[in-house]
Amino acid sequence: MKSVAVIGAGVAGPAVAMSLQQAGFEPTVYESRPHGADEAGAFVILHVNGIDALRAIGADKCLDGLGFDTPRMRFRSGTGRSLGVAGTGMPLADGTVGRTIRRADLYGALRDEAVRRGIPVEFGRRLVGASSGASGVVAGFEDGTVRKADLLVGADGIRSRVRTLIDPEAPPARYIPNLYISGYARTPEVDASPGEYQMVFGRKCFFGYTAAPDGRIWWFANPPYPDEPTPGELRELGDAHWRTMLAGLLGVDRGPALRIVETTRHALVAWPFHDIPTVARWHRDRMIVIGDAAHATSPASGQGASMAIEDAVELARCLRDAPGRRQAFAAYERLRRDRVERVVATGAKWSNFKSVGPVTRMIRDAVMPVMIKHHAGDGGASLGWMHHHHIEWDERVPA
């Protein structure tokens, strides 16, 4: 068996570790943060293609009891006018649909399942350097720890250290001039149907919300923020700043957005939007990147977690079936690059719809019903290329 050092324990790391183990490798996961330091406030949509990819490695059951099904999105303008309803993709054969899950719960479930399968996970290991040689790759960590493996997989996110080790000229993440603020509120007067997102193209801010089975409202806002924030800037501004900002942006629209924010009791935190349109080099020698480290997409696509899981399964298949690592890495890139870069481009386009001027807003709201009707046909079948991608684990990867 070949040993594999997996850097990062978010979504991609545990998923690729479980996939590699199923393919006959011996992975170990290294995570820079201490256990339990996840971003508790945010949530993600895991679309059917991500769930289907987890099924390829028998890991979908670890999501049981987490989050709730969200198969539909209803779009509105800031005036309250309905722009249409769209599905989030056709259900799988057994009726499975997309699911909204707290990010911390998704991370924890995947890590716990990896540990249950006997995969070591070491916390507090921040990678600082790695070197490849004929006998393997040596990884050095900030605490002085050194680990050797046959291969190293960078699943270390949008600011990947492994990406820069592979290519010091690799592009940094591209800032998209919107922020992401999310929360949970109990707002009894809000009429929201469980399983359906309400997506509001407000005059000054995009706002989305849905009702969880327990009656809480899960919401997010994407306020425009033209200049890229410096490290730490958003944390320093704090809860009061974000509440004041959202009050000014959301108060001009009809609907419950402002009331939802006002009834949110926990502190609000903002994150910047970034993506990476293309990374020229995904691999070098014995190192390769997957997930956000290779192709981060805007949250507007809703596909970040699902793309990472697909990557994990495909990389393991390629390493299992190719005669050597070079052929495996090349096959993986051939299978993934066009698809993931198309998803990134789609997410960037959707992000651009959220913050527009008054003239463009009028045009957007006029054409949006036609666009939604087109994409909503057969539950969203026109987006089948995105949502209905299936990976057959037992099928050999072509040479």
Does the pLDDT of residue 385 top 70, yes or no?
Answer: yes
Half-sphere exposure of 173 (CA within 13 A, CB side): 21
Residues 35-40: what's their mean pLDDT?
57
CA 1 to chain centroid, in Å, comes to 31
Residues 149-167: what's their mean pLDDT?
97
pLDDT, residue 378, reads 47
Does the pLDDT of residue 373 top 70, yes or no?
Answer: no
Which residue bears the tokens 């949509």?
Answer: 45
Does the pLDDT of residue 87 top 60, yes or no?
Answer: yes
Q: Which of 399, 349, 348 is nearest to 371 (CA)?
A: 349
Residue partners of 244: CB distance under 8 A and separation at least 6: none
Does the pLDDT of residue 296 top 50, yes or no?
Answer: yes
Give the domains, in start order, of the chain with CATH numbers. 3-70+97-173+276-354 (3.50.50.60), 174-274 (3.30.9.30)
Residues 307-326: what's their mean pLDDT?
97
Q: Which has more pLDDT, 345 or 310?
A: 310
